[in-house]
Amino acid sequence: MMTTVHILGARLESAAPALRATLSDLLARLYARDGALPAERLKALVVSDDVAPAAEGQTEVPPLVRSDDADGCTLTLAAPYVEQALGGETDQLLQLVHLIHRELWRGELAREAAVAAPADALAAQFSPIVARMFDEYRANRASAWSLPNNADLLLPHLLGLLEELPAACDRARAEYRIDGNLDALAGLSMARLALLMQTTAFSLGYLAGLGRSAADIAPELKAGLDASILGREWPRIAALLAGASASEGEARALQLDMLRTRVIAVLAAMGLQARTGDDGTVWMDVADASPEATAAAVARLGTLH
pLDDT tens-place string over residues 255-302? 999 999 999 999 999 999 999 988 888 999 999 999 999 999 888 876
Alpha helices, H only, 39-115: 79-87, 90-109
**Within this chain, do residues 19 and 143 fall inside the same structural domain, yes or no?**
no
Is 116 contained in some domain?
no
**Within this chain, do residues 97 and 150 fall inside the same structural domain, yes or no?**
no
Is 49 contained in some domain?
yes
> What's the pLDDT score for residue 13?
81
Residue 279 CA to residue 303 CA, distance in Å, equals 32
**Within this chain, do residues 159 and 235 fall inside the same structural domain, yes or no?**
yes
**Within this chain, do residues 8 and 154 fall inside the same structural domain, yes or no?**
no
**Within this chain, do residues 30 and 90 fall inside the same structural domain, yes or no?**
yes
Going by their DSSP bridges, the two strands 4-8 and 42-48 should be labelled as parallel
Domain boundary among the residues 56, 84, 109 is at: 109
**Within this chain, do residues 213 and 274 fall inside the same structural domain, yes or no?**
yes
Burial class (CB in 10 A: 0-12, 13-18, 19+), 191: exposed
**Within this chain, do residues 27 and 147 fall inside the same structural domain, yes or no?**
no
283 φ, ψ (degrees, to nearest 5): -115, 150
**Within this chain, do residues 205 and 273 fall inside the same structural domain, yes or no?**
yes
> What's the pLDDT score for residue 54?
54
Count up the domains in the chain and report the number.
Answer: 2
**Within this chain, do residues 28 and 149 fall inside the same structural domain, yes or no?**
no
Q: Is the pLDDT of residue 112 over 90?
A: no
Q: Between these two residues, 197 and 93, which has the higher pLDDT value?
A: 197
pTM of this prediction?
0.90
**Within this chain, do residues 42 and 125 fall inside the same structural domain, yes or no?**
no
Domain boundary among the residues 109, 141, 168 is at: 109
Its domain, for residue 171, covers 121-301
**Within this chain, do residues 138 and 34 fall inside the same structural domain, yes or no?**
no
Is 114 contained in some domain?
no
User: Tens digits of per-residue pLDDT, 33-75?
Assistant: 999 999 999 999 999 987 666 555 556 778 999 999 888 899 9
Residue 90 CA to residue 292 CA, distance in Å, equals 50
Q: Side chain identity at 67, as an amino acid letter?
A: S
Q: Side chain identity at 280, as an amino acid letter?
A: G
> What's the pLDDT score for residue 305?
54
Q: Are 265 and 237 in contact (CB under 8 A)?
A: no
Domain boundary among the residues 56, 85, 109 is at: 109
